[in-house]
Amino acid sequence: MELLSKLAHVAFLFFLTILFLYIIFKLGLSAYRVFSPAQQIDLEYTDSAKTDLKEELRTRWRKCLQPIRLERFQEIPLALPELPYIFKPAKKDVFQDINLKIHDVDFSSLYQKFSSVFLPSGYRVIIRKSVKDGKVEHLDMSLEYGTEVLKSWHLPRHLICEDWEIKLQEKKKEDFKAVLGEAAGNGTAQLLRDDEDFLINHAFYELYFYLYFDPDNKDHKFKRGDKEEHHQFPSGAALCAYYTGIRHLNNYQQYGNQAELNQALRFFQIFLAEYPGCWHGALLYGMALAENRDEPGAVAAYGKVIEQLGREIEENAKEISALNKVTVPSNDQIVGKQKREEENRNLTLVKLQAQLWQAMALRRHYGWKTTHKAISDLNGFITGIDKPENALIGEVNKNKLKVYAYIELASAYIDYLYIFFPNRLEDMLMALTDISAPSQVKISGVIKNCIEQSVQGLKEGRPDLIHWLQVNIVIGRIYHQYSDNISEALKVKAGIQGEASEEREKINLDCRLNNAAGCAWFLRANWEELGRQAYRGDCQTALNYLNQVQLDDPQHYTTLLNLGMIYMDPWFDPCGETLAIAHDYIWRVTLLKPNDPFGFEQLAYVYRKQAEVNGAGPDMSGIIDQGIAAAKKALALRPQSGDAFLTLAELYVMKFLLLGKTADGSEIESNIINYLNQATVLESLNPRLHWTKFVWKTAKLKRAADAAKLKDIQKEIKEQADKLAAPKTPQFRHYREKLLALAERIKPDQPEESQVFTASVASF
């Protein structure tokens, strides 16, 4: 009896343990589903709601007999870090603004759910066929999570064409390969391994080819929609590529992953190959190219959009004009006219937006002619937006466009100060035959005179001829143009406060204004004759503006770049105390824009500065190697980067000083000579080049060097320092001081190798 009692007690405890573990398991599963990334999606329904949803879907899908049609005037471009919302969307969700309809079924909303659930793991689409006597009876599709069916679709017999199915198999293989990249070359294996991408494309493929083909179309070609109202996807490949590209672009916007941007570019290329006449795809492709720092490609893509939209607007205007002449219009004619007017309003809005983005892409070339062109286009844009044909977009939208245009125009004028850095001048002018500026550039006469003197300096190797860069009238006129345009932007911005502006839009405008102000303060300080304290004060003002942008938009590319450039500036921080901060900002720039050579040029320079500060410390070799890798990456992206060649020369000189005559010393020496020669061609006015050459001359002297040779080098250094006396800008003063310090360290009466090496190392 006692034994039975003990067994019962043990059984009861075992039962309680199992019950406790079961409860813990259920609670853990619930917590996982609540807190896991996969559950941050609005797919939670009650059982009753799920039943109603399934029934609604079954009922509505049975009615879907018409081909898919795309409302061409409802496209609102995605918001991207560098290309944000300019207009408030009609609805909160940008995917809904695409307005894809199949009869009364809102396919856009359905797609939004589809695309969102394919990103997290655990979701899958199941497709089942029911075949009888070799014929498909029905097709069932379901969206599942674990064992739970979230949505399902039932495609009955009458929606499946018997004759079509055999021919469909070959068509399916062809289009499916195009969508998945099998015919596109690189990236195929990676994409095919991605089950989630495979599933979403497969699901769309099945939906398109099994639901929306027209059984009465004997040629098996997809019908065009009503030309007056709709465009239609010409193929399954176009459909899949369009929406998959949007999904990748949206993911890039949210997470800044370059792989997502690369995928978006590839799918938009597939879409445009399938549907070259669709401006939606060209616009999205241009946005992706601009984000990838392919400005020429973006400018060309936007040009196609502007051209296509111009034709459509003109055709609609002719129809509207003809309808206006009808004395007693019918109800259909009145409705038709209203549709054309509404369509032209939206098309005009997108066309103006594309024109603005094209000018923005031009400005980001940072070249002499492209800056002129951007300024000319922006001036023309601001003037042209008030033309009568643009009145239909409304004053609010016109003023929003003006604000962005004025900010871009102000920034373009400040870009001149960036272009005028010696290394940038030579990059720009080496192959330039026409240095004239168009009449729209209001400071063209002064700038032209400056450039002519610079060209003379380039030909004669005389950096003293760039003294005009600190002439107050030049800086004053450039800054005056910047200030005038910023004032106009603020004036127009004040007039639209509260006018249908989202919080995101207001933040974006403030970010652009603060970034432009920060850049202006920093670049202007670089060309004024300021003492160290005044220079640091201007840089601190620039930092205040840029840090405000960081609070609102931590991933703002140009702000990160400007912050990094200030913190590693030798005149701002001669001791290198803020180099770690600069490295952090520039490193983030290269992660955000891995195809931007300028980011890697600056990263290499940060490493070179860190190696200089570190001296002969234990980490110097690793820092030098990292700098060399970054500079070579910059050269791979821009083969004529004089700045990268010069940084490589500096880093290899450092390596030579660090290692001395080791086994690979001859290779290091050949690299130094090669990179110095390349830099001399592209950077002849850069004071860094002359200083590096003199350090190299002292470093390679043998022990037997006589006093006469050292005296000659010392004399050359002092002569070069004298040439840098006229331009009293911070960077020239900095390198003049370094040259004079090097000259002082050379002791002609003590030509020992150790002394020469000490002088060289100390110079870095």
DSSP 338-363: HHHHHHHHHHHHHHHHHHHHHHHHHH
Choose between 224 and 308: higher pLDDT. 308
Burial 218-255 (b: 16+ CB within 10 A, else e): eeeebeebeeeeebbbbbbbbbbbbbbbbbbbbbbbee
Query: Is residue 440 pLDDT above 50, yes or no?
Result: yes
Instruction: Determine contact, residues 731/571, Cβ cutoff 8 Å.
Output: yes
Instruction: Determine contact, residues 150/144, Cβ cutoff 8 Å.
Output: yes
pLDDT at position 566 is: 92
* Cα→Cα distances 396→77, 97, 607, 644, Å: 18, 20, 48, 46
pLDDT tens sequence across 253-310: 767 788 888 989 998 998 898 888 888 889 889 999 988 888 899 999 999 999 999 9
CA 714 to CA 140: how far, in whole Å? 86
Choose between 65 and 512: higher pLDDT. 512
- The structure tokens 């603005």 sit at 356
Place 4 in a pLDDT band, splitting at 50, 70 and 90: low
Query: Cβ of 427: how many Cβ atoms within 10 Å?
Result: 21
Instruction: Determine contact, residues 555/256, Cβ cutoff 8 Å.
Output: yes
Residue 67: DSSP 8-state = P
- Domain spans, the chain: 2-35, 46-123+161-292, 688-764
Handedness of CA 107, 108, 111, 113 (dihedral sign): negative
Residue 153 pairs in a beta bridge with 141
Three-class SS state of 431: coil
- Return the structure tokens found at 292: 């990838």
CA dihedral 699, 703, 706, 710 (to 10 degrees): 20
Distant-in-sequence, close-in-space partners of 407: CB < 8 Å, separation ≥ 6: 485, 486, 489, 509, 512, 513, 516
Instruction: Determine contact, residues 718/743, Cβ cutoff 8 Å.
Output: yes
| Least-confidence region, from 29-43, 447-461, 476-490 | 29-43
Question: How many helices (H) and strands (E) are present in the chain, helices listed first?
Answer: 28, 7
pLDDT at position 667 is: 82
Query: Is residue 60 pLDDT above 80, yes or no?
Result: no
CA 120 to CA 604: how far, in whole Å? 37
pLDDT at position 210 is: 37
CA 231 to CA 224: how far, in whole Å? 7
pLDDT at position 634 is: 92
Choose between 143 and 729: higher pLDDT. 729
Reference 263, options 277, 246, 278, 280; nearest CA is 246
Choose between 452 and 316: higher pLDDT. 316
Strand pairing of 123-132 and 148-155? Answer: unpaired
Choose between 483 and 48: higher pLDDT. 483
Instruction: Determine contact, residues 624/611, Cβ cutoff 8 Å.
Output: yes
Reference 517, options 557, 492, 474, 547; nearest CA is 547
Q: What integer best gives the mean pLDDT of the chain?
A: 69
pLDDT tens sequence across 584-593: 999 999 988 8
Query: Is residue 560 pLDDT above 70, yes or no?
Result: yes
pLDDT at position 517 is: 92
CA 336 to CA 328: how far, in whole Å? 14
Three-class SS state of 729: coil
Query: Is residue 95 pLDDT above 50, yes or no?
Result: no
Between 597-614 and 579-592, two packed helices, what is the crossing angle to 10 degrees? Answer: 160
pLDDT tens sequence across 382-415: 999 988 888 888 888 888 889 999 999 999 888 8
Residue 750: DSSP 8-state = -
Instruction: Determine contact, residues 277/308, Cβ cutoff 8 Å.
Output: yes
- Return the structure tokens found at 463: 């950096």
Reference 674, options 707, 705, 696; nearest CA is 696
Top-confidence range, 128-137, 356-365, 468-477: 356-365
Q: What is the pTM of this model?
A: 0.68
Instruction: Determine contact, residues 79/85, Cβ cutoff 8 Å.
Output: yes
